[in-house]
Structure 1
Amino acid sequence: MAIEDILSELKKKIEDALPSDTTISNVEFEGPQLVVYTEEPRKFADNGNLVRNLAKNLRTRIVVRPDPKVLLAPEESIEKIKATVPEDSVISNYYFDEDVGEVIIEAEKPGLVIGKHGETLREITKKVGWTPKVVRTPPIKSRTVNNIREFMRTNLKERKEILKTVGRKIHRECTSKDEWVRITSLGGCREVGRSCFVLSTPESRVMVDCGVNVGSDENMTPYLYVPEAYPLNQLDAVVITHAHLDHQGLVPLLYKYGYEGPIYCTPPTRDLMALLQLDYIDVAARDARKIPYESADIREVLKHTITLDYEEVTDIAPDIKLTFHNAGHILGSSISHFHIGDGRHNIVMTGDYKYGPTRLFDPAVNKFPRVETVITESTYGNSNAIQPSLKEAEKNLQNIVKRTIDRNGIVLIPAFAVGRSQEVMIVLEEAIRKGIISDIPVYLDGMIWEATAIHATYPEYLNNDLRKLIFQKGQNPFLSENFRSVDSNELRRNIIDDPHPCVILATAGMMNAGPILDYFKAFAPDERNTLVFVGYQADGTMGRRIQKGWKEVPLPAKNGSDMVKMNMEVEIVDGFSGHSDRKQLMDYVKKMKPRPERIFTMHGEESSCIDLASSMYKKYRLETRALTNLETVRLV
């Protein structure tokens, strides 16, 4: 059946299901959703269950859009919205887009604009005709969030055409009589870095992650040239589990070499992804390394990105539905559940996950409607890779900071901009507020402040405790006066030239590059200072060398390298990792509902992947396998 016939049939079904006094003018696919155009948006708003019932009966996401001729003028609409929405919501801006009949309302408290069960939004539509969408005003000004929102508004017309093309591709009719499912590993197997997989059926091909291994020149990129992935324009979709570079750093390269389809991720992942991609090419340019793509390619990624919230079941191909679930790893990180065919097979790809509570996130989800195959990370898959509890880790960090400050020293913490930094920030803020640590400045250098601003923009993705603190008590720990953004070379130089008791959180997390090296060079010779590792240090990185006990460390300099004497104390504080330790990895599968049929391991050093697969087979009597790169496995 041609796509026009499918749309015509859907329009008739909708008209038959509507009350006799409610009409629609047109229907069109846009991305995974069906857009219904009407000259009577108020009637749809009057009946809150109308769209819900239609979506349920047609088994697709439905959005109602008003015909432009029924829209109230923007100035008049603003007055009516102000009269409808509580003043406490603190609206900061309105953006009207006539092409899609939407008004974007930016507010400090979006929940008040939405109302209970969306009642206030429906009231707005009844009064002005426009379809309201609500976004949070960033409590910390974020250049990234503002630029992305502005870019998306500016490119709405082009984006609408992109979504129309994507939608028609998703909703095409299935034609193959064959029924099989295969997974091909293009990177990230028996190694950490360049994660990339292709999920294939006779109808569809979906890429999951497309990362870069920043610590390796030889094994930097996934095998994108193999027939399962190339040519790239044969892919139906690219799904990104989270924003770390080893999972998404080469996504813009796909557009450079011919991919034209959608990217699926959560809203915070989209923002963090753009931030980290821009920083990646910026650092590569400064280090005179080859730049794999341009900023224009990053803009293409944004134009093609479709964001999905957790638990939102979405068609991404004619025979594949995707649902994201909380992974507990970093902001917006997702366990990806793929429902293939009409219940033919269900795959869970974990990406990176934390099956335990942290200061930022709830534990990773492991309850699904159905699951046959699980592809799990194995970063800490070795049998001896057990992490201390978060309470122990916090107490350990507090003691180290207190001890160092008491001797007039400086605590230097190399941290990933996204995840560990914010976890450590919350622990330090509480310790200072309670007087456990004296009132000292905590300097945030590199992208950490900008990444923190993005965390503050999406508090709904944080755990219950933080949400209560922010929404009910009006306390946002990220806004503490102790946190100081190092936003210039001059300020960094002042901190280095005038050493005083403080904590410095700086990128990069494995000490391969970034501002952390400036501080390290200045403070390493002084035995009063302490270097604290709170995250994983991969083989070959500067961080791993220091952990091994190197007493002299070569740092890049204009004329080759400088040798830095290591007199500062070195501490490793385990327990802050965003990855599950060995016990949590085992428990995640043990407590998974329903029980899967097979487990594949990936994203870990070779011994970790093999050890975890072997242990799960012995303990749970499941089919297991440590995947290797360039391997294709038939699942059905």
Structure 2
Amino acid sequence: MSTVDQQLEDLHETITNEIPPDITVTEVKYEGPELVVYTRDPKKFAQNGDLIRNLASKLRKRITVRPDPDVLTRPEKARDDVMGVIPDDAGVTNLDFHEDTGEVVIEAEKPGMVIGRHGSTLREITQTSGWTPEVVRTPPIESSTVSNVRNFLKHEREERRDILEKVGRQIHREELSDDEYVRITTLGCCREVGRASFILSTPDTRILIDCGDKPGAEGEVPYLQAPEAVPLNSIDAVVLTHAHLDHSAFIPLLFKYGYDGPIYCTEPTRDLMGLLTLDYLDVAAKEGRNPPYESEMVREAIKHCIPLEYGDVTDIAPDVKLTLHNAGHILGSAVSHFHIGDGLYNVAFSGDIHYEPTRLFNGAVNDFPRVETLVMESTYGGRNDYQTDQEDSEEKLKRVINDTYERGGKVVIPAFAVGRSQEIMLVLEEAMREGDIPEMPIHLDGMIWEATAIHTTYPEYLRDELRDRIFHEDANPFLADQFNHIDAGEDERQEVADGDQCIILSTSGMVTGGPIMSWLEHLAPDPDNRLVFVGYQAQGTMGRRIQSGRDEIAMPGDRGRNDRLKLRMDVDTVDGFSGHADRQGLEDFVRTMNPRPEKVLCVHGDERSAQDLSSALYHDYNMRTFAPKNLETFRFL
């Protein structure tokens, strides 16, 4: 008998001894980080609300209880039982029964009403029907991404269970080494922005954190051929901090080269990764470049995702526990905290963070019981990288819009589909509602509308005030009448260009392709129009060149030749809307940590920014700091 099988047998016996004698447990198995308990008496389990909680506390494991398939009531009868328990106001849109696991997926407009206070309605559903409920939100804005991901995972449910069982056995395997060390190897994003990728290794485990591209630098992949990363199929887990392509673009590539393990991330990160990586492939094809992987690999990555909620402590290897915390950067972005061994060592990877709250998100969490080493972004870590106060930034944006409106022009804002676009949408919606700028159409081009739909699917990841407004005031600002989704392509763009004053939010945010190129072609020759940058423009991108004063750019021609476009429109930059903390925010993130880390690795910033931040933290807080290069390895312990 294997070590894992012996564990499960012991757990079965322990659970049987802990529960009332009239409750029967038929099977215990691992599915990913969870322990799944099958019972012939699900209704009795549900009657005791503390039973599962007490078991989870005693066993120190996440527990899911499911009915044994042999005792399930028919879905036709169970449907009536379930609907009889759920309040009508919950807005149930679909019930999906899975007889192989005894789970019923309930899709509702108001999931909180299906869950009930402290899960009371969920327990009542099980007590009445015998089925185990799983609740998901009906998107207020129809999202093809959310729908496709849910349908795909439903279709792949059986294979996904096999994947989870395999992962569960890997997590709970026996530790083999008596050595004690923790190492971090940098595979990208050191003294550069983008191409985020790291290996965290112990004697028993190797974990890859992020695997992204480098904006404006085609083909620069993280150093996956480094000895610490090969073979890819022996990596235990991948952790994805967030979905921006400079962190996620090459996650599907891992599966092309043999990786077959789990990806840990938040649920919105999973959906947004699917959206952005598929678009990444689409843009590459349109520009005549060979995509690095096929769309099938994106689906494979989604199939292997294990979503975690903020604050959940989760075993991901025999000697590693992972906890994700809000990073305040984009929807679902996470600071990833790794607890290694039995209190041996703690490492946190910030990913990209915004320390202060924004209109969209609460500020980044930095409250950890322990962190010996922090790997922290330094995008705006330079000595003079202080962003404008957000209120001042909003006032400047409104002045720019008013000035452009008065002279009859149009405002074009290149924006990342995920994060900055929704932040700007909230600013514009409020400004028009309060009369600070004239009411006019706000056209959303590229993936912005779809990304916004995903935001409305997961309001629990938004800032408290915004979430409450969507939940309780029935006043979803993203549904304002001014917003228009550009869905008719070039004809609609031409119609907008020929029409009255308006605001256009368009991808790509760094002017590296996509619909923004069409808008420039339509609107750049008119000096009454204005191009407004609200996000970071990386070195080497067209956006950085325009921002730096270039007034003529190369446009891709219809026959592969390059046409030149003269920019006669005004160009402005409005700082303060970045999803990244500025220099002060980064310092505050470290300063307010209690206890502070012993070591900090400053990454994800150009050489000057990383070294400036590293030097400042060393001098101000007397901690060991580094601005590593790619392919360096640090040993701790």
Cα separation, 1, equivalents of 2:634 and 2:379: 22
Q: Is the 8 A contact 2:525 2:569 kept in 1?
A: yes
- Check if 1:281 corresponds to 2:276: no
Cα deviation for residue 113 of structure 1 reads 0.4
Q: Is the 8 A contact 1:496 1:522 kept in 2?
A: no
Secondary structure of 2:522's aligned partner: helix
- Check if 1:104 corresponds to 2:91: no
Partner of 2:229: 229
Secondary structure of 1:210's aligned partner: coil
Q: 1:512-566, CA deviations, whole angstroms, 9 ceiling, x for partnerless residues?
A: 1000010111111111111000000011111111111112222221242222222
Cα deviation for residue 493 of structure 1 reads 3.5
Task: Name the TM-score, length of structure 1 as normaliser.
Answer: 0.99
Secondary structure of 2:165's aligned partner: helix
Q: Is the 8 A contact 2:486 2:493 kept in 1?
A: no
Output the amino acid matched with 1:612.
L
Q: Is the 8 A contact 2:110 2:137 kept in 1?
A: yes
Q: Is the 8 A contact 1:185 1:630 kept in 2?
A: yes
Cα deviation for residue 499 of structure 1 reads 3.2
Cα separation, 2, equivalents of 1:279 and 1:490: 18
- For the aligned residue pairs, the C-alpha RMSD in angstroms reads 1.0
Partner of 2:564: 563
Q: 1:234-293, CA deviations, whole angstroms, 9 ceiling, x for partnerless residues?
A: 100000000000001001110111001000000000000000010000100111112111
Cα deviation for residue 213 of structure 1 reads 1.5
Cα separation, 2, equivalents of 1:150 and 1:242: 22
- Check if 1:359 corresponds to 2:359: yes
Cα separation, 2, equivalents of 1:69 and 1:16: 23
Cα separation, 1, equivalents of 2:67 and 2:288: 51
Query: 5+ residue gaps in structure 1?
Result: none
Cα deviation for residue 55 of structure 1 reads 0.9
Q: Within 5 A, what are the aligned runs for 1:275-424?
A: 275-424=275-424
Output the amino acid matched with 1:234.
S
- Check if 1:92 corresponds to 2:99: no
Q: 1:88-121, CA deviations, whole angstroms, 9 ceiling, x for partnerless residues?
A: 1010001111111110000000000000000000
Q: Within 5 A, what are the aligned runs for 1:130-141?
A: 130-141=131-142
Q: Is the 8 A contact 2:497 2:523 kept in 1?
A: no
Cα separation, 1, equivalents of 2:28 and 2:545: 60
Output the amino acid matched with 2:104.
V
Secondary structure of 1:96's aligned partner: strand
Secondary structure of 1:135's aligned partner: strand
Cα deviation for residue 42 of structure 1 reads 0.8
Q: 1:288-342, CA deviations, whole angstroms, 9 ceiling, x for partnerless residues?
A: 1121111111111111110000000000000000000000000000000000000
Cα deviation for residue 214 of structure 1 reads 3.8
Cα separation, 2, equivalents of 1:539 and 1:621: 32
Cα separation, 1, equivalents of 2:49 and 2:16: 17
Q: 1:413-454, CA deviations, whole angstroms, 9 ceiling, x for partnerless residues?
A: 000000000000000001111111111000000000000000
Cα separation, 1, equivalents of 2:8 and 2:551: 69
Q: Is the 8 A contact 2:348 2:373 kept in 1?
A: yes
Partner of 1:573: 574
Bigger CA drift: 99-108 or 77-86? Answer: 77-86
Cα separation, 2, equivalents of 1:370 and 1:70: 46
- Check if 1:601 corresponds to 2:596: no
Query: 5+ residue gaps in structure 2?
Result: none
Bigger CA drift: 490-499 or 17-26? Answer: 490-499
Cα separation, 2, equivalents of 1:479 and 1:371: 41
Q: Is the 8 A contact 1:334 1:350 kept in 2?
A: yes
Cα separation, 2, equivalents of 1:49 and 1:128: 19
Cα separation, 2, equivalents of 1:181 and 1:99: 41
Cα separation, 2, equivalents of 1:631 and 1:492: 50
Partner of 1:152: 153
Partner of 1:125: 126
Partner of 1:113: 114
Cα separation, 2, equivalents of 1:80 and 1:346: 47
Partner of 2:168: 167
Partner of 1:179: 180
Cα deviation for residue 495 of structure 1 reads 3.0
Secondary structure of 1:456's aligned partner: helix
Cα deviation for residue 18 of structure 1 reads 1.1
Cα separation, 2, equivalents of 1:565 and 1:272: 35
Cα deviation for residue 488 of structure 1 reads 2.3
Task: Name the TM-score, length of structure 2 as normaliser.
Answer: 0.99
Cα separation, 2, equivalents of 1:522 and 1:549: 20
Aligned length: 635
- Check if 1:462 corresponds to 2:456: no
- Check if 1:451 corresponds to 2:455: no
Output the amino acid matched with 1:391.
E
Cα separation, 1, equivalents of 2:11 and 2:225: 39
Output the amino acid matched with 1:253.
L
Partner of 2:510: 510
Q: Is the 8 A contact 2:493 2:519 kept in 1?
A: no
Output the amino acid matched with 2:86.
V
Secondary structure of 2:25's aligned partner: coil
Cα deviation for residue 389 of structure 1 reads 1.0
Output the amino acid matched with 1:521.
E
Cα deviation for residue 13 of structure 1 reads 1.1
Output the amino acid matched with 1:93.
N
Output the amino acid matched with 1:412.
V
Cα separation, 1, equivalents of 2:261 and 2:74: 35
Q: Is the 8 A contact 1:237 1:264 kept in 2?
A: yes
Cα separation, 1, equivalents of 2:453 and 2:491: 20
Cα deviation for residue 508 of structure 1 reads 0.3
Partner of 1:539: 539
- Check if 1:40 corresponds to 2:41: yes
Cα deviation for residue 492 of structure 1 reads 3.2
Partner of 1:4: 5
Q: Is the 8 A contact 1:599 1:622 kept in 2?
A: yes
Partner of 1:492: 492
Cα separation, 2, equivalents of 1:421 and 1:4: 50
Cα deviation for residue 497 of structure 1 reads 4.9
Cα deviation for residue 490 of structure 1 reads 4.4
Cα deviation for residue 491 of structure 1 reads 4.4
Bigger CA drift: 429-438 or 452-461? Answer: 429-438
Output the amino acid matched with 2:76.
E
Cα separation, 2, equivalents of 1:274 and 1:173: 34
- Check if 1:522 corresponds to 2:522: yes
Cα separation, 2, equivalents of 1:494 and 1:513: 18
Secondary structure of 2:355's aligned partner: coil
Q: 1:122-166, CA deviations, whole angstroms, 9 ceiling, x for partnerless residues?
A: 000011111001100000000000000001111100000000000
Q: Is the 8 A contact 1:496 1:519 kept in 2?
A: no
Secondary structure of 2:325's aligned partner: strand
Partner of 2:80: 79
Cα separation, 2, equivalents of 1:396 and 1:113: 44
Cα separation, 2, equivalents of 1:74 and 1:594: 53
Q: 1:158-188, CA deviations, whole angstroms, 9 ceiling, x for partnerless residues?
A: 0000000000000011121101110000011
Secondary structure of 1:25's aligned partner: strand
Output the amino acid matched with 1:48.
G
Output the amino acid matched with 1:383.
R
Secondary structure of 1:191's aligned partner: coil
Bigger CA drift: 161-170 or 81-90? Answer: 81-90
Partner of 1:478: 478
Secondary structure of 1:611's aligned partner: helix
Partner of 1:427: 427
Q: 1:571-590, CA deviations, whole angstroms, 9 ceiling, x for partnerless residues?
A: 10000000000001011100
Cα separation, 1, equivalents of 2:544 and 2:296: 35
Cα separation, 2, equivalents of 1:594 and 1:98: 49
Q: Is the 8 A contact 2:215 2:541 kept in 1?
A: no
Output the amino acid matched with 1:217.
E
Partner of 1:207: 208
Q: Is the 8 A contact 2:494 2:522 kept in 1?
A: no
Cα separation, 2, equivalents of 1:435 and 1:9: 67
Cα separation, 2, equivalents of 1:470 and 1:164: 37
